[in-house]
Chain A
Amino acid sequence: MILSQKILLITAFAISLFGITSCVKDDQDITPSIASIAVTNADFSTLEGAAIQGGVAVVLSNANPSDPSGDYTVFAPNNAAFARLGLNTEADLAVLNDAFLTNTLLYHVSNGNLIGNTIAAGGRSSSALGPDRRFVQRGSDLYINGSKILATDIQAENGTVHVIDKVLLATGVDIVQSALALTDSKVFITPELTFLVEALVYTDLVGALVAAPGSPSFTVFAPSDAAFKQLGVDLGVALNTPADIRKLPKETVAAVLLNHVVADGGKFTSEMNGGAIAPLGGISITLGVFTNGTLTVKGNGNSMVANMIIPDVQATNGVVHVIDRVLLP
């Protein structure tokens, strides 16, 4: 075979290759679904794991059957938002109760398209879980509950995605039931707030925090179990189990608990400012400077500030912030 014929054949080969290559389907005209955005964006890898574990990945791949538009709006927490809760990888999600995780995801979702420029400060938006979320303007930033909206209007085939810097948390029940949910491992698979619940029972303060028609809403700073154990160390009283709370005088425990409750309608971190606030106990507690979506809080009798380890948990009669230190009057 002469050289020119070979060149001709190789050319034909190359053209054939090009022909096959051009058969590859074009992705340019396809808009990703909300689930696809979560799975293909590296900054949503924990959300991806949560959507899979929570059983909503397939749901968010498809049109919304509950809305005429077929769309959802999702406030999507980025990886840093999950990391605030110690959830750094999808494996860390195993600490969460499955039903709670699913409900938490649904709290981030609403029916229809809620476009960024239609979100108004002071407004509310109902969630697929049920409880409303409220929008707060703080400086030039817009928040949903205590979560800053970092980016708006990522268009998906089945709706709209807005990026937020904190996971939205709602229990759908009142403050007492919320604490009991934590105690009964309905949030984390390991019980939490067990000392606080025992203290509320011991001091007969449960009734004050139960939601009832016309009852007020509160901001509650809820010390974690570790916070109570640290208190025991500080006081020289062994607080190893919740029942050990009863070693302390009832009146003292009641005074300490009332130091954690503020009858202000229930405020998210986005609505708080540094300075003194008055809890039900009457002696001021002090909020630190609002920094990166959170504030420290310090009781009059504390030498060190408490940090919010789980801020902005919405209950039906207020907002709970789980803190790492008991606030002493």
Chain B
Amino acid sequence: MQKNRLFSFLTLLVLPILAQAQSPVSGFMNGKGNSVIAVSYSAEKYDKVLLSPNDANGVPVFNDVKVNSASLYASYGISNRFDAVLSLPYISAKGNANESVLNELGYENTRSGIQDLSVFLKYNPYNCNIGTTSLHFMLGAGVKTPIGNYKVDEGLQSILAIGNRATSFNGLAIAQVRFNDGLFLTTQAGYSLRNGQVPNALIGEIKAGYAGKHIYVDAWFAGQVSDGGVNILGEGFQGFFPATDVSYNRVGVNVYVPIAGGFGISGGLSQYLNGRNVGQSVGFSGAVVYSF
């Protein structure tokens, strides 16, 4: 009974909303006919670039970079075993280059626009109980494709590119264990096939948390390992950033509080631990969530 109460929150689905680095699908199902819509905001900043073999303190040309994004997120329970998930972010990346440097190079301190539309389907083929603990297994498949006309081929200006313009086809396997006191653990792993020169990647995430009636919290650890690609400033690098080997580990926390009438608010923090060919950003995020 307690378990049913704890996991009845559709709003648990907020957990993938908050950060781009998190998997777009969670370990919880919507339930037939149930929907979640969320609008989220995130802000990240970095002044260190994780490179291979040595990191760069200070972002070349731009010194430091702030990335702000606003995202629309929606999910719908097609049936008790099928969810559809959609997200679409608008991203603004701002550098801090000196004006004379910008003039000299013909660069700008800002790149912004609508980024990539993600559409995922999640299937929950099997659940089982072991005593008071339940196990849930899911499969996810989705496409992420650029909607906006943002550029990625502007040389070092594209340090500020808001995406990689690849269309990716993603497959995920998800397993979740839930305890009757509200604790849960979700792991997922998958592979992302990308078109163009963007290397494919292994993706994974582990998330542990507590889902109670009045609050939801989690801590997550996510990683990506690119399957190929060149290193920035390494052999084969031609100034085209989408072709680089973007690999990283990232951690974060989320918290969600239901307010009333299906509305809730959430917030999160995230930080890159290590990696290559990516800015070591730290960021926070917040969202307003409506479940119905």
Q: Chain A residues in contact with chain B, CB under 8 A?
A: 1, 5-6, 9, 13, 16-17, 20-21, 23-25, 27-28, 30-33, 35-36, 39-40, 42, 45, 48-49, 52-53, 57-58, 61-63, 89-91, 93-94, 98, 157-158
**A24–B275 touching, CB < 8 Å:** yes
Q: Which residue of A24, A36, A58 contacts B247 across the interface (Cβ within 8 Å)?
A: A24
Cβ B53 vs Cβ A49 within 8 A = no
Taking a contact as CB atoms under 8 Å apart, the answer to whether A61 and B185 are in contact is no
B56 touches A20 (CB 8 A): no
User: Which of chain A's residues have a CB closer than 8 A to the CB of B57?
Assistant: 40, 42
Within 8 A of A (CB), among B153-206: 156, 177, 179-181, 183, 185, 187, 202, 204, 206
A30 pairs with B249, CB closer than 8 A = no
The answer on a CB contact under 8 Å between B235 and A62 is yes
CB-defined contacts of B125 to chain A, threshold 8 Å: none
Assuming the A-B contacts A13-B206, A58-B238, are A25 and B247 also in contact, with contact meaning beta carbons closer than 8 angstroms in the complex?
yes
| Residue from A1, A35, A63, A157 whose CB has the most chain B CB atoms within 10 Å | A1
In the bound complex, do residue A21 and residue B104 qualify as a contact, i.e. CB atoms below 8 Å apart?
A: no
**Which residues of the other chain, B, contact A157 by a CB distance below 8 angstroms?**
234-235
Tell me, rounded to whole Å, the shortest Cβ–Cβ distance linking A182 to chain B. Answer: 19
User: 6 new A-B pairs (CB below 8 Å) besides A23-B249, A27-B54, A57-B233?
Assistant: A1-B131, A17-B206, A24-B275, A30-B234, A40-B54, A63-B235
A–B complex contacts, Cβ < 8 Å, 12 sampled? A6-B183, A13-B206, A21-B249, A24-B275, A25-B225, A25-B245, A27-B52, A33-B234, A42-B57, A57-B60, A57-B156, A62-B236
A61 touches B233 (CB 8 A): yes
Q: How far is the CA of A94 from the CA of B104 in the complex (A)?
A: 6
Shortest beta-carbon distance from A41 to chain B in Å: 8
| Residues of A contacting B133 in the complex (Cβ-Cβ under 8 angstroms) | 1, 5
Main secondary structure of the interface of A (DSSP, over half): helix
Residue contact A52 to B185, C-beta cutoff 8 Å: no
Q: Are A33 and B235 in contact (CB under 8 A)?
A: yes
CB distance from A328 to the nearest CB of B (A): 38
Answer whether residue B101 sits at the interface, using C-beta atoms and an 8 A cutoff: yes
Given B177, B223, B233, which contacts A20 in the complex, CB threshold below 8 Å? B223
Is B4 close to A, CB under 8 A? no
State how many angstroms separate the Cβ of A157 from the closest Cβ of chain B.
6
Q: How far is the CB of B7 from chain A (nearest CB, A)?
A: 15
Option from B103, B185, B239 in Cβ contact (under 8 Å) with A94: B103
Closest chain-B Cβ to A193's Cβ sits at a distance in Å of 23
Give complex CA distance A35, B52 in Å. Answer: 12
Closest B-chain residue to A39, C-beta based? B56
Assess whether B225 is in contact with A90, with CB atoms less than 8 Å apart.
no
Closest to A48 in B: B60
User: Whole-angstrom distance from the CB of B287 to the nearest CB of chain A?
Assistant: 26
In the complex with contacts A24-B249, A31-B53, A62-B235, A91-B100 CB distance below 8 A = yes
Tell me the B240-272 residues at the A interface (CB within 8 Å).
Answer: 245, 247-249
**Shortest Cβ distance from B18 into chain A, in angstroms?**
20
C-alpha spacing A238/B223, complex, angstroms: 71
> Taking the complex as formed, is B61 at the interface, i.e. its CB lies under 8 A from any CB of chain A?
yes
Q: Which chain B residue lies CB-closest to A45?
A: B58
Q: Across the two chains, which residue of chain B brings its CB closest to A12? A: B185
Shortest beta-carbon distance, B25 to chain A, in Å?
18
Task: Mark contacts of B90-126 with chain A using CB atoms, 8 A cut-off: 1 yes-contact digit, 0 otherwise.
Answer: 0000000010110111000000000000000000000
A58 to B133 Cα, complex, angstroms? 55
Known contacts A31-B53, A40-B51, A94-B103; A52/B61 CB under 8 A? yes
Bound CA span A13–B185, Å? 8
> How far, in angstroms, from A249 to B64 measured CA to CA in the complex?
57
Report whether A93 and B225 are in contact in the complex, using a CB–CB cutoff of 8 Å. Answer: no
Docked-complex contact B98 and A91, CB < 8 angstroms = yes
Interface pair B204/A20, CB less than 8 Å apart: yes
Cα-based distance from A20 to B225 in the complex (angstroms): 10
* Minimum C-beta distance from A282 to chain B (A): 46
In angstroms, Cα B231 to Cα A30, docked, is: 10
Cβ–Cβ contact A36 & B233, under 8 A: yes
| Complex-state Cα separation, A6 to B210, whole angstroms | 14
Q: How far is the CB of B252 from chain A (nearest CB, A)?
A: 14
Q: What are the residues of chain A within 8 A of B181 when measuring CB–CB?
A: 1
Chain A residue contacts of B79, Cβ below 8 A: none
Selected from B53, B156, B177, B180, the residue in CB contact (under 8 A) with A27 is B53
B180 & A1 in contact (Cβ 8 Å cutoff): yes
Q: Is the CB of B101 within 8 A of A94?
A: yes
User: A16: which B residues are within 8 A, CB to CB?
Assistant: 187, 206
Question: Is A30 a contact of B53 with CB atoms below 8 Å?
Answer: yes
CB of B60 within 8 A of CB of A39, answer: yes
Set of chain A residues within 8 Å of B183, measured between Cβ atoms: 6
Residues of A within 8 A of B249 (CB): 20-21, 23-24
From A6, A25, A158, contact of B52 by CB (8 A): A25
Interchain CA distance A63-B132 in the complex, whole Å: 61
* Residue B137 at the chain A interface, CB threshold 8 Å: no
Whether B292 sits at the interface, judged by CB under 8 Å, is no
CA of A13 to CA of B209, assembled, Å: 12
Closest 6 A-B residue pairs measured CB to CB? A91-B98, A27-B53, A40-B54, A94-B100, A30-B53, A36-B233
Residue B221 CB within 8 A of the other chain: yes
